[in-house]
Amino acid sequence: MEYGVFSCIMSSPRVVTFRIAPEKVAQLDTLAKAMDRDRSYLLNEAVEGYLREQRRFAAMVEEGREDLRKGRSYTDEEVGRMLDEWSSDTQSKAK
């Protein structure tokens, strides 16, 4: 089965189709009803969240690449020490 997803592109909704398991559609519909929304609203929210996360990840990767170009990097040992320190700090604060 194919289902449409409405997305706003330059304020003109476009229909996008893809395949999704029927049980996921049922879960979407149940959630949409509980939220007094429609399926399209939930799917648009999910796509926006996914795109936001991917943009954030791409920016972090680019920041890391820029650090490497500028010679700012850490050895495995330095990273290990930092992780050990963070872990110790977290455990100390939890007590």
15: left (phi over 0), alpha (psi -120 to 50) or beta: beta
- Model pLDDT for residues 30-89, shown as the tens digit of each residue: 999 999 999 999 999 999 999 999 999 999 999 999 999 999 999 999 999 999 999 988
Task: Give the per-residue SS3 of 18-29.
Answer: EECCHHHHHHHH
Q: What is the model's pLDDT at position 75?
A: 94
pTM (2 decimals)? 0.66
Q: Which residue in this structure is represented by tokens 């320190």? A: 85
Each domain of the chain, given as residue ranges in start order, spans 2-94
User: What CA–CA distance (Å, rounded) separates 61 from 69?
Assistant: 12
Strands (E), 1-95: 2-9, 12-19
38 with 28: CB under 8 angstroms?
Answer: no
Q: What is the model's pLDDT at position 93?
A: 80
